[in-house]
Amino acid sequence: FRGTSLLVQLYWIFFVLPLFGITLPNFTAGYISVGLNIGAYGAELVRGAIESVPRGQWEAGTALSMPQGVRMRRIILPQALAIMLPPWGNLLIELLKGTALVSLISVADLMFQTRQINASTYLSAQAFGTALIVYYILARFLITPMMRWAERLVARRLGRA
């Protein structure tokens, strides 16, 4: 799912699956498409963060005779979380931007409403300019501060602050 664009996946799930007898409602097709696409990137972030924890940390847990689950929960995942949070912030912003594509299959999101307003008023610059500002505010003043707060919290708990 990481190798193709979200738009192509969205069209395949919404328009091609019905040819095989699988018809999904607009909203369901939208969240499955976005979920699979962003989830694939998210899984790769988690895998990369876990693999980037130094080998010595893994060996230290083994030397302390920790079972694999305990070693992962108490040693590896806290360190991996600190590594994966910055790219997860980028992924959340990518998710926000990706949701605009679901308007192409008539899912009523911000872009769908913007297109409806544009169709009735013909005020393209104002309608899409407002949508641009809303997306910017969500990314800049909601997601980014939330992720920075989470990064500081995790760094403090790991003694890196």
Q: How many CB atoms lie within 10 A of CB 126?
A: 13
Euclidean distance between CA atoms 93 and 38, whole angstroms: 11
* Fold of domain 6-157: MetI-like fold (1.10.3720)
Model pLDDT for residues 22-50, shown as the tens digit of each residue: 999 999 999 999 999 999 999 999 999 99
Structural domain boundaries of the chain?
A: 6-157
Cβ neighbors of 31 (< 8 A, separation 6 or more) are 102
The pTM score is 0.84
DSSP annotation of 7 reads H
Euclidean distance between CA atoms 135 and 125, whole angstroms: 15
Model pLDDT for residues 54-113, shown as the tens digit of each residue: 999 999 999 999 999 999 999 999 999 999 999 999 999 999 998 899 888 888 888 989
Model pLDDT for residues 88-100, shown as the tens digit of each residue: 999 999 999 988 9
78 near 157, Cβ under 8 Å? yes
